[in-house]
Copies of this chain bind each other. A is one copy, B any other.
Amino acid sequence: MLKLHFAPKSRAIRAAWMLEEMGLAYELVSYALGDPQMRSPAFRAIHPMGRVPVLEDGDVRIMESGAILEYLISRYGGSAFRPDVDSPDFPAYLQWMHYAEGMLMPPVNSYMVETFFLPPERQSEVHAKRAKKLLGHMLVAVEAGLEDRAYLAGEFTAADIMTGSAVMSARTIGVEMSELPQLTAYIDRLSQRPAYIKAAAL
């Protein structure tokens, strides 16, 4: 059976969300973020940096949420969640699959490091503010991508899990979205999906 190494409020939600959208059975191995077990040799053998998500499927072990989503789609019949190569939505799908980690998550991470992970005396308000401002700029492209559509690549796809969850993270850390009405509606739309609700409650 598929086995997902998971922690709430981490990128592992993306993998659980995809599994739920596809209706696949899986075993959940859940950690709390910062759990010392994630630093143990046993878990380091599964992910060398002690991170989640990791998906195990028999002999296959795979890191990186984007890779896990593509793997599930490709090996478990998830073609409804990825446009065909010949579809006009295919380029947008690829772009938003990669935009999440390429553009949006680095400033989200910087913000978290500067406000949460570092001890208070080493946190920098300047760095945190800069990260949030940068993220605001990055989100304008997503807003534009949603101007004439409910989802980023036509119907709901894995790209909405990747970039959508990054947009949700941006809102969680308090990025101002009053001038991004498409994004606000998009978050509402995603938040109401039963598969998302299940994954977020894990």
Question: Which residues of A pack against B, CB within 8 Å?
Answer: 48-49, 60-68, 70-71, 74-75, 85, 90-91, 94-95, 97-99, 101-103, 105-106, 109-110, 122, 124, 126-127, 137-138, 140-141, 144
Contacts and interface: CB of A to CB of B under 8 A. Distances in A.
A9 B62 CA distance: 30
Nearest to A70: B94
A91 B60 contact: yes
Given A75-B85, A85-B75, A94 B60 contact: no
B64 A91 contact: no
A66 B98 contact: yes
B67 A95 contact: yes
A126 B118 CA distance: 12
B49 A97 contact: no
Nearest to A118: B130
Contact of A62 (B85, B94, B127, B137): B94
Given A75-B85, A126-B122, A141 B64 contact: no
